[in-house]
Amino acid sequence: MISSKKIRKQFIDFFISKQHESVRSSSVVPFDDPTLLFTNAGMNQFKSIFLGDKSPKNNRIVNSQKCIRVSGKHNDLEEVGVDDYHHTFFEMLGNWSFGDYYKSEAIRWAWELLTDIWKLDKERLWVSVYKDDEETKNIWINETDIDKNRILKFGKKDNFWEMGEIGPCGPCTEIHYFHGKNIKNQKASGVNSDPLYREVWNLVFIQYNRDDKGTLNDLPQKHVDTGLGLERIVGILNSTPSNYDTDLFMPIIKSIEEITHRKYDKKHGVSHRVIADHIRMLCFA
């Protein structure tokens, strides 16, 4: 078993080796953003940098941001516990460029970490890109060794990331992992539809600000905002499709078993999963 602590550190250390500064997560309750109840993404605390209102101390940083998604534009509440991989509270591992590197480095480094360092099977990885973003598709084809048949185009719903109704946003490219038993059973139509194909890492290219009239305005600079779900990558690296079978949840589930005298049944264990998830979220909130 590789611990979540070790995996978090491997991510941070990888980006430190690419000249990023490691910074702490911000609070899950934003202090100065009236558009958000909870921090729902790593980029929340950097909004004023993206908008050009504040200068960053360092233009490359890496962090693990604590996030809560229970309301608003990004709301996973109904999925929690019913499936194995949505949570009200989760950690988002992220590398950031504020007007520094852009698509090429972000894509190459993500691929390097997943396939060279963590040695994920390339035959289980899929990539989605925004339908109009040929540049990103070409970077995947020309600068990584991904099989080009595993690069798929999707529309705004899946590959254009926005923090909320207004704010910084841009096209994204997502990396998905196939959790099925037999790699021969994969098909492109499973991505973004079949829960066996899961998004693990989202690379967002922040280049617009959507204003309150819905118009996209160019930002003064282009930025990179990536989010890799810690709970999901810990599941993958421990070869378990369920995030609940990792060291991030099992100790809590064991306590629930002891207190309730009810064994956790992986197949029908929605209640154990929901309680474990919500306890984690409430502790951090």
Query: Per rule CB under 6 A, is residue 161 in the interface with ligand SER?
Result: yes
Q: Report the half-sphere exposure of 60 (CA within 13 A, side-chain side).
A: 14
139, 169, 204, 224: which one contacts ligand SER (CB under 6 A)?
Answer: 204
Q: Which stretch binds ligand SER (CB under 6 A): 3-11, 36-44, 135-143, 189-197?
A: 36-44
For 139-196, where are the E strands, in sequence order? 151-154, 160-162, 167-178
Dihedrals φ, ψ of 23, to 5°? -125, 160
Query: Per rule CB under 6 A, is residue 164 in the interface with ligand SER?
Result: no
Segment 89 to 108, residues that bind ligand SER, using CB under 6 A: 92, 94
Output 159 or 226, the one with its CB closest to ligand SER.
226
CB of 157 to ligand SER, least distance (A): 13
Binding mask 117-156 for ligand SER (x = CB under 6 A): ----------------------------------------
Q: Closest-CB residue for ligand SER?
A: 227
Residue (of 65, 66, 89) closest to 76 by Cα position: 89
Both tokens of 158, joined, read: 């899946």
CB of 90 to ligand SER, least distance (A): 10
| Number of CB atoms found within 10 A of residue 118's CB | 16
| Exposed/middle/buried for residue 196 (C-beta within 10 Å: 0-12, 13-18, 19+) | middle
Residue carrying the six token digits 């852009």: 102
Segment 208 to 247, residues that bind ligand SER, using CB under 6 A: 225-227
Query: Per rule CB under 6 A, is residue 168 in the interface with ligand SER?
Result: no
